[in-house]
Structure 1
Amino acid sequence: MAGRIVIFGATGYTGALTARALVGQGVRPVLAGRNANALAALAAELGGLETAYADADYPWTVRSLVERDDVLVTTVGPFRRYGHAALAAAVDAGAHYLDTAGESLFVREVFDEYGVKASSVLLPAFGYHHVPGNLAGALALDRVGEDAARIDVGYFLGGGSLVRGLSGGTFESAPGLLATRMYTYRDGVVDEPRSQVRDFAMAGRTRTGVSIGGSEHFTLPASHPGLREVNVYLGWFGAASRIAARLPRGRAAAAAIGFCGRGLARMARRRAGKGTLTSRIVAAAYDAQGGLLTEIHLSGGDPYDFTAGIVAWGARQVADGMTETGALGPVAAFGLSELEAACAMAGISRVTG
């Protein structure tokens, strides 16, 4: 393995899952964070791993984590507030970088600003958001080829309670998904139109999603230049999606917070990670006249377990050496068949029949 793998935010919910997944895959990562006692406890649980202090409020401590050819995995969010320290540290050091961000404006910054100056590999949004959507979209495009002019991707959760299933960090970030400006891809440009909603037919029922920004807007057109439009939808909010889409994004965040309620937020934090969630992702390809060409459906288990598994796999691949540089999507980085096999290993696979 060419470089070390360092997990920044290792004692958080997703970070600890990722550390365990890496150890389960035969890797001994460095565990980094700001809580020395929690780091020591996790390191001991996982067989005596190396630990390091780092705090996003003090960027030099994050920069000291990595050197050239190391791999920095960061799960420290919300990323618009805390993510820049790790991103800048990786680019400055020439270290490879993976994050689990689902925040659209942060993802856009990685592609628009940091990717052009990186001498290493940057893999933003490398988790449940937005690896499965990239996979589903690429599989649909691979099936229909140059006939496709538009791709719509939808992310949905099911099984158990959404509130009990979300981690505390995700719940903190969820209103931000509505607060920040969404974007879409149209005719060669990533822009910011008014929010949209659309319905998807899935497993015998109709599911509603509200438009969000994602990595698919950058990665799918790069691999398929004939695409004229890419849209991504999040189906977490059910009927509230239509209300949120009619509001300016700042008001939408307030509405989401009001809808959930402070008591609900406290319950989510107390029960973080204790619910049972399942994943469902769909990608629909259309021709230039709006005719449906094909749909690809993916299904799997808990999105946190998937994120940990796919991040661990991706970090190992990158640590073994990459020839590409800059901000990449998962298909461009690893290949379609390899990514599909890795996603299946991590718990999300294609629905057949």
Structure 2
Amino acid sequence: MEGRIVVFGATGFTGTLAARALVTQGVRPVLAGRNAEALAVLADELGGLETVYADAAEPRTVRAIVERDDVLVTTVGPFLQYGHAALEAAVDAGAHYLDTAGESLFVREIFEGYGVKASSALLPAFGYDYVPGNLAGALALDRVGEDAVRVDVGYFVGGGSLVRGLSGGTLDSAPGLLATRMYTYQDGVVEERRSRVRDFEMAGRSRMGVSIGASEHFTLPASHPGLREVNVYLGWFGAATQVAARLPRGRATAAVIRVFGGGLARLARRRAGKGTLTSRIVAAAYDADGALLTEIHLSGGDPYDFTAGILAWGARQAACGMTETGALGPVAAFGLSELEAGCAMAGISRVTG
């Protein structure tokens, strides 16, 4: 392994899971954050790891923790509010970068802005949002080749709503996901569009998702130039999906989400351990006449456990050396077969039969 792996936000919920996954996979990461006491406790628990101080509110402290060829893994969100310090530190240092951002505007910033000037690899949204959808979409397109002009991806958790299992960090990021104009990939360009809903048939039942902006809009067309349309749908909200699609985008929605987010986070904490979350992802490819060519289904366990596992896997691959630079999707960064193996290791794999 060539570079160090630095986990920024290591004492947060997802950061702690990622640090533990790295240690389980045989890596001794550097733990970074602003709470020295909590860092010390976690570092001791994981075998005496190195710790460093870094605070997104003080960008110079984040820049100080990374050097060229390091791998910076950041889970510090909401990313639209706190994510730029780590992103800019990695670009400036020439360090490889992975984050867990699910916020569409932040992901778009990386692909359309920061990726152009980066001399290192930038891998945004490298978690349950949106690695398995990239994998499912790429597998579907690989199966049917140039006949496909459209692909729809859907993310679903458990039997319906994910609210009962959301972490506080996810709820904090919800305004960045739902309170902004959505985008899609249409006729060769990424463009804004009002949210829509559609049903997917999965495991013998119909499940509804609401359209969102995601990394697949940038990554799948880059690998498959014949694509003319990419749509991504989120099925977190169960019976409330239609309501989520009709919410006006903007500050008012953000305020509503923030008001109710604290209560939902408390509910999630009270329900911790009272049920097992499962993941299901589907990608459907269509031809120019709108006929379904193929579907790929993936399934697995808890999305947070998957995020930790795939972050650790991706960081280890990046630390061994990256040839591609700029903003990358997971397939372009690591290859399709390698990514499928990595996702299976992290807990999400293809459904056969």
TM bin, normalised by shorter chain, reads over 0.9
Maintained 8 Å contact 1:161/1:275? no
CA contact (8 A) 2:136 2:298 kept: yes
| Native 8 Å contact 2:166 2:265 kept in 1 | no
Partner residue, 1:311: 311
Q: Where does residue 142 of structure 1 map in the other structure? A: 142
Using the TM superposition, give the Cα deviation of residue 239 of structure 1 relative to its aligned residue in structure 2, in angstroms: 2.3
Secondary structure of 2:6's counterpart equals strand
Query: How far off is 1:261 after superposition?
Result: 7.3
Task: State the SS of the aligned residue for 1:239.
Answer: helix
Paired with 1:216 and 1:71, the residues of 2 have a C-alpha distance of: 23
CA distance in 2, matches of 1:253, 1:121: 31
User: Residue in 1 aligned with 2:63?
Assistant: 63
Q: Residue type of the partner of 2:8?
A: F
Q: Aligned residues: percent identity?
A: 84
Q: CA contact under 8 A between 1:282 and 1:296: conserved in structure 2?
A: yes
Secondary structure of 1:6's counterpart equals strand
Contact 2:105 2:176 in 1 (8 A): no
Contact 1:166 1:275 (C-alpha < 8 Å) held by counterparts: no
- Please list the CA deviations of residues 232-254 of structure 1 after superposition, one character each: whole Å capped at 9, or x if unmatched: 01101122221222232135555
Give the whole-Å Cα distance in 2 for the aligned partners of 1:196 and 1:70: 40
Give the whole-Å Cα distance in 1 for the aligned partners of 2:79 and 2:212.
16
C-alpha distance in structure 2 between counterparts of 1:159 and 1:197, whole Å: 18
Query: Cα RMSD between the aligned structures?
Result: 1.7
Partner Cα separation in structure 2 for residue 168 and residue 263 of structure 1: 10
Distance in structure 2 (CA, Å) of the matches to 1:114 and 1:100: 16
Match of 1:101? Answer: 101
What do residues 263-317 of structure 1 show as CA deviations (whole Å, max 9, x unaligned)?
Answer: 4443224556765210000000001111111100000000111011101010011
**Aligned residue type for 2:165:** G
Could you list the per-position Cα deviations for residues 196-254 of structure 1 after superposition, in whole angstroms to 9, with x for gaps in the alignment?
Answer: 11111111111111111111000000000000000001101122221222232135555
Corresponding residue for residue 128 of structure 1:
128
Q: 1:222 to 1:238 in 2, by over 3 A?
A: same
**Contact 1:148/1:293 (CA < 8 Å) preserved in 2?**
yes
What are the equivalent positions in structure 2 for 1:281-292 lying under 5 Å apart? 281-292=281-292
Aligned to 2:189: 189
Counterpart of 2:73? Answer: 73
Q: Tell me, yes or no, if the aligned pair for 1:298 and 1:350 is still in contact at 8 Å.
A: yes
Post-superposition shift, 1:255? 5.9
- Aligned residue identity for 2:210: V
Alignment of 1:247-258 (within 5 A): 247-250=247-250, 251-253=252-254
SS at match of 1:234: strand
Paired residues of 2:162 and 2:237 also in contact (CA < 8 A):
no
Counterpart secondary structure, 2:238: coil
Gaps of 5+ in 2: none
Question: Any residues of structure 2 matched to 1:211-226 within 5 Å, and which?
Answer: 211-226=211-226
2:140 and 2:294 in contact (8 A); partners too:
yes
Change (3 A) 1:261 1:329: closer
State how far apart, in whole Å, the 2-side matches of 1:330 and 1:273 are: 31
Contact map agreement 1:244 1:256 (CA 8 A) in 2: no
Structure 2 SS opposite 1:3: coil
1:31 is paired with a residue whose SS is: strand
Distance 2:49 2:159 in 1: 35
Displacement, 1:336?
Answer: 0.4
Equivalent residues of 1:165, 1:277 under 8 A apart: yes
Aligned counterpart, 2:154: 154
Question: Is the CA contact 2:160–2:238 (under 8 Å) kept in the aligned structure 1?
Answer: no
Length-normalised TM-score, structure 2: 0.96
Conserved? CA contact 1:166–1:273, under 8 Å: no
Given the two structures, how large is their TM-score scaled by the length of structure 1?
0.96
In 2, distance between residues paired with 1:41 and 1:247?
Answer: 42
1:171 deviates by 1.9
Alpha carbons of structure 1 residues 50 and 159: separation in structure 2 relative to 1, 3 Å:
farther
Please say if 1:277 is aligned against 2:277.
yes
CA distance in structure 1 between the partners assigned to 2:73 and 2:273 by the alignment: 21
**Contact 1:8 1:31 (C-alpha < 8 Å) held by counterparts:** yes
Who is 1:202 aligned against?
A: 202
8 Å CA contact 1:245–1:252 kept in 2: the answer is: no
Alpha-carbon shift at residue 175 of structure 1 (Å): 3.9
Match of 1:6 in 2: 6
